[in-house]
Amino acid sequence: MAEELSDGVIFKPKAEVKNLNFYYGSVQALKNINLTVPEKQVTALIGPSGCGKTTLLRCFNRMHDLYPGNRYEGQILLERINILAPKVDPIEVRMRISMVFQKPNPFPKSIYENVAYGLRVRGENKRSLLDGKVEEALRGAALWNEVKDRLNDLALNLSGGQQQRLCIARALVVDPEIVLFDEPTSALDPIATASIEELMSDLKDKVTILIVTHSMQQAARFSDYTAFMYLGELLEFNKTETMFAKPSHKMTEDYISGRTG
Amino acid sequence: MGGQCPPTLSLLSLRPLRLCGLLYMTEQKTLPSKLVRNIREKSIELILFLAAFSSVATTVAILFILIKESLAFFTQISLWDFLTDTQWTPLFGDAHYGILPLLTGTLMTSMVALTVAIPMGTIAAIYLSEFASNTLREIVKPCLELLAAIPTVVYGYFALLFVSPLLQKVFPELSYFNMLSAGLVMGIMIIPFISSISEDAMRSVPLGLREGSYAMGATRLQTALKVVFPAGISGISAAYILATSRAVGETMIVAVAAGLQPKIVWHPFQQGATITAYIVQVSLGDLPHGTIEYQTIFAAGLTLVLMTLVLNIIGHFLAKHYREIY
Ligand SMILES: Nc1ncnc2c1ncn2[C@@H]1O[C@H](COP(=O)(O)OP(=O)(O)O)[C@@H](O)[C@H]1O
Ligand SMILES: [Mg+2]
């Protein structure tokens, strides 16, 4: 199974969004989205504020199900299963697709328990197994060396950048198939941002990444593919170099060159 | 606890403020000078200060009288006897002044009440904050809060005439007056103190934390118990402390249903007098001022105030501690 873009780029798809519409009550926030997310690559969602990037991202782990009145139409296929189908349990979906939020949101628990959370929620309480997984996830999030001597300290005492890396470790510990990032560096200083970006480039060998970013430079720096959204529609999807070098859509060009958004 | 103070404070302080507002509007046309405005500002400030000061003054006055009369009491009875004597018989010929019987009575009824109120109140709070729909919450919450609005004397007779006979069917050895039914009913009365404040504490937990938990695949119950509850713990522990103060200070229920015989108690099936019950009991008779019998009221009262004070201080530090870490 492979997907081919218009100019002959071939990749292996991980998830496929098909004719997706999304409504907040009666307000339509996404209009007929079609998108194929390549496996083990970084795909960036860009576009002006309010165009529906977060809304699209949160469809992937059914976060919209938490609030009444939200409605999906269409499909997101993950290995041929439509994860938006009403009979699919959102919890099952979230077990396979992790999420890192815009604002670091560590739980009021120890560093260790924050990372172990996803495993405990899945009923895993064996200490030896947890220890190994927690260490692996913290290493994966480039945080192990900074916290290995104080795993039992409260996570809220960490700096903002460390908290966000902790949230990344928390998302990684359950071996997710896809990790969703919603502007993960927008609340961080430039140094913390750089370390998170570096971390994400390392991660893509292991996991499929879908990231919302408002920073063109960030998308250009480390994403492989970019999707450009505008007013709830997905206008363009391509390899990042191609998109930034010769955007095929006038709106994309304007946005990338800083004339809109 | 802050919970009891604000209503009176705001009533006292808002009315003058509104009056001054009217005054200001009518006078503005004729006297817009800076001096007048300053005087007005200052007088409003003074009124507000007096309103706030009156509550402080009342507290100080109560403490002053309590301490003064208690000091008179302790010139005749040593503190050691007060704390260690196992009998409390100030009105008998063979008078003993040991607070332990009343103290154990108070602790026993409070413990029974909290055993009911803490789990029930917490469960109600978790349900209302994390599970109930908005409409259901709007209905259930006022109903729960009504529990605290029923006069306590009604609860007292409910315990004595309904709950005790019912319990006696199960436990025949239960005495007519007993601390079990008084404590149980008191526990029901203080449920809303716990549920309301705990619910507020949990509902003010940031949405981002909940979403973080759901995003990891947690269920609602897991999110409520593993994330929202610990995140709201400072408010929740404040609720527990407030409820404890309320239980320790509750008077009518225990006076009516728990009995008035001061004896050291070990078991909630027994009857026993609490500090508060003793105070109403002797206050009903007319004791001549200045006698030792009269002063026992104040010594017992001071003990009660100290207990509540310690609880409030613990609550204050708990809240502060958790605010720092979270
Ligand atoms: N909970 C909500 N209820 C109603 N409308 C919403 C809600 N969240 C977002 N929207 C609307 O949906 C549109 C897309 O929002 P969002 O996905 O957050 O945009 P982006 O992340 O690209 O800035 C916006 O017009 C926004 O106002
Ligand atoms: Mg957004």
Structural domain including A94 reads 3-257
CA distance A91 to chain B (A): 5
Query: Whose structure tokens read 């919302």?
Result: A212
Q: What is the pTM of this model?
A: 0.83
B241-261 mean pLDDT: 92
Q: Verify whether ligand 1 is closer than 6 Å to residue A54 (CB atom).
A: yes
Is residue A246 over pLDDT 70?
yes
Calculate the CA dihedral of residues B177, B180, B184, B186 and round it to 10 degrees.
50
Tell how far the Cα of A63 is from the centroid of ligand 2, in angstroms: 14
Q: Is A150 helix (H, G, I), strand (E, B) or coil?
A: coil
Diameter over CA atoms, chain A: 56
Name the packing angle between helices B100-126 and B233-249 (round to 10°): 140
B314 pLDDT band, cuts 50/70/90, is confident
Rounded Cα gap, residues A14 and B180, in angstroms: 63
Residues of A with Cβ-Cβ distance to B229 under 8 angstroms:
none
Tell how far the Cα of A180 is from the centroid of ligand 2, in angstroms: 12
**Does the beta carbon of A88 lie under 8 angstroms from any beta carbon of chain B?**
no
Is residue B13 over pLDDT 50?
no
Q: B81-325 maps to which CATH number?
A: 1.10.3720.10
Helix residue spans in chain A (DSSP H):
53-60, 90-96, 111-121, 127-140, 144-147, 160-172, 190-203, 216-222, 240-245, 250-256
B218-225 mean pLDDT: 96
Which of B144, B102, B143, B101 is CA-nearest to residue B122?
B144
Q: What is the DSSP string of A163-223?
A: HHHHHHHHHHTT--SEEEEESTTTTS-HHHHHHHHHHHHHHTTTSEEEEE-S-HHHHHHH-
Chain mean pLDDT for chain B: 87
Query: Domain residue spans in chain B?
Result: 1-75, 81-325
**pLDDT tens sequence across B57-113:** 999 999 999 999 999 999 999 999 999 988 998 888 888 999 999 999 999 999 999
* Tokens linked to A41: 């690559």
Query: Whose structure tokens read 């201080």?
Result: B313
* Interchain contact, A94 vs B217, CB within 8 Å: yes
Q: How many domains does chain A have?
A: 1
Interface confidence (ipTM) of the complex: 0.94
> What CATH code is carried by the domain that includes residue A216?
3.40.50.300
